[in-house]
A and B are shown apart, each in its own frame.
Chain A
């Protein structure tokens, strides 16, 4: 299979690369979004732990 064949794929390139392209974009986005969510979740836990400590002291 040469490069021209890979880009044309019997004239179905739009469907195949459209699918694989969307998949690639989704995977890259997923990595970025998961990192953001993870940071936010950890910050949330830290806040809660701090709040619990403050409450404990107040008691």
Chain B
């Protein structure tokens, strides 16, 4: 059996449809556990107080923003090498979600920055690269929705996969020192 057959949307969609209810159940379960741990079980931060709880949505949102970008790049490479129809479709399907998580990361970051750093926005490398990431998503969406030809996603795939090192380099290095220090009573 070859996995290549799933690169055809007509074969992939029935499988995806069968998996959706299972993933929905998993998502709801993890959602409830995550919210309980973040809002109820986790103790207050001794420096920041309650406001640090934004971390439980800010960081996953920022992670998803980058992760979806990488997954789109992966599909871009697959679209280029195998010229499969599903790869380009997956890129198109992921872009709005990626844009949403990037916007969410910026929004929650601003709301966390104000009470902890005293400002909603600063032009530091991490924030600026996240803003550029949002523009990349919006630019991709604008092109894909405007130009409905098959060759466009392929050409975009090439740009997308080649821009990954740029985004990763500007993001991962400042990330290590960026997040406001979290200390919890229990750890002291």
Contact = CB atoms under 8 A, between A and B. Distances in A.
A12 to B, nearest CB: 4
A26 interface: yes
B100 A37 contact: no
10 contacts: A12-B49, A12-B51, A15-B51, A16-B51, A16-B54, A16-B111, A19-B112, A22-B107, A26-B100, A37-B96
A19 B107 CA distance: 7
Interface residues of A, number: 21
A37 to B, nearest CB: 6
Contact of A34 (B49, B97, B103, B114): B97
Contacts of B61: 23
Interface in A4-27: 9-10, 12, 14-16, 18-20, 22-23, 26
A22 B111 CA distance: 11
A41 interface: yes
A45 interface: yes
Interface of B: 9-10, 13, 49-51, 53-54, 57-58, 61, 89, 93, 96-97, 100-101, 103-104, 107-108, 111-112, 114-115
Contact of B100 (A19, A30, A41, A42): A30
B50 A19 contact: no
Contacts of A51: none
B93 A29 contact: no
A15 B58 CA distance: 12
B49 A23 contact: no
B108 A23 contact: yes
Contact of A20 (B57, B96, B101, B114): B57
Contacts of A37: 93, 96
A5 B57 CA distance: 21
A41 to B, nearest CB: 6
Contacts of B101: 26
A12 B97 contact: no
Interface in A37-54: 37, 41-42, 45, 49
